[in-house]
């Protein structure tokens, strides 16, 4: 009886080139397009309130400035811009340690790493750059511009059956969510394989 073929391991560098880099470019292009085509919110505001329907009652394009984390937690606080500049660096250290210790299981675990890196670098780029591009921050000291940094959220969905408006998000956020699901299922698969009798 023939042994089942061993699946080929995907090289992380090809995942980074073929998945992470294109998604990062898409993330940044879409955010710069939104910033160029939607009005800038007034100082202290997170949105100018402009919506452009794509699918009426379901999907809009918006421009929301998110200085916090998921669902806008931390928006407007003094601590959020500083803390969330540090979080991506911590995440990168943890990913590096995870790769060295084979924490990411199989090919789908590597895809999850590629998606996580896109999400981290996509939103970190926003925090470093977008605050400096605000009209009222022109000529401000670097530290003030960094503190004004924000993530551009623009995908706005309403769940019709319950009429719930999901907090706006972006491509990088989507990558992080898909990566979390892949990590869960790849870890579960690895755990089940360990329990199988040899």
Q: Which of 27, 126, 156, 173 is catalytic?
A: 173
**For residues 184 and 182, what is the distance between their CA atoms, to the nearest angstrom?**
5
- Cβ(87)–Cβ(104) under 8 Å? no
Look up 153 and say whether it is catalytic: yes
Residue that the structure tokens 């019709």 belong to: 160
CA-based angle 47:48:49, to the nearest 5?
Answer: 90
**For residues 118 and 28, what is the distance between their CA atoms, to the nearest angstrom?**
10
Q: Which of 27, 126, 153, 156 is catalytic?
A: 153
Residue that the structure tokens 């299922």 belong to: 185
**For residues 149 and 143, what is the distance between their CA atoms, to the nearest angstrom?**
10
List active site positions.
153, 173
């Amino acid at each position: 009886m023939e042994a089942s073929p061993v699946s080929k391991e995907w090289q992380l560098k090809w995942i980074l080139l073929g998945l992470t880099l294109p998604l990062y470019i898409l993330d940044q292009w879409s955010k710069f397009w939104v910033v160029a085509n939607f009005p800038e919110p007034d100082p202290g505001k997170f949105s100018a309130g402009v919506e452009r329907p794509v699918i009426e009652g379901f999907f809009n394009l918006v421009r929301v400035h998110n200085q916090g984390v998921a669902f806008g937690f931390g928006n407007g606080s003094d601590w959020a811009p500083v803390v969330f500049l540090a979080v991506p660096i911590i995440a990168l250290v943890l990913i590096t340690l995870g790769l060295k210790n084979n924490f990411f299981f199989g090919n789908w675990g590597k895809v999850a790493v590629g998606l996580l890196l896109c999400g981290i670098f996509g939103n970190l780029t926003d925090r470093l750059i977008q605050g400096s591009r605000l009209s009222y921050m022109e000529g401000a000291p670097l530290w003030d511009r960094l503190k004004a940094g924000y993530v551009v959220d623009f995908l706005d969905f309403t769940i019709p059956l319950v009429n719930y408006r999901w907090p706006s998000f972006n491509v990088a956020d989507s990558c992080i969510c898909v990566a979390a699901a892949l990590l869960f299922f790849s870890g579960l698969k690895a755990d089940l394989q360990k329990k199988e009798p040899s």
